[in-house]
Amino acid sequence: MMHKEKVTISVTRKLLDELDRTASQQRISRSALVEEALKLWYSKQLKRELVEGYQAMAAEDRKTAEQNLRSGVEILD
């Protein structure tokens, strides 16, 4: 099991009530629910960054392909 660090956070009463309600429904601790939420957030951030990276690579690949196509057409003309 990984070593866990204790942290202190501040949240609104409404969010804390929701956190407690959800943790109770899922029969897990507040800490476990917050950790799960952070993992989900991190996963979504990573996925977003990957999508942006792949989109940037695709745009660059298209630009290169268009340049190569123009060069090929010029050679054939």
Give start and end residues of each alpha helix (H) in the chain: 13-26, 30-76
Q: Stretch 41-57: mean pLDDT, rounded?
A: 86
**Digit-coded pLDDT (tens) for 19-48:** 999 999 999 999 999 999 999 999 999 988
Name the 3-class secondary structure at 4.
Answer: coil
The whole-angstrom separation of Cα 54 and Cα 77 is 34
Tell me the two tokens of residue 70.
Answer: 């123009």
Global pTM? 0.62
The domain locations on the chain are 13-76
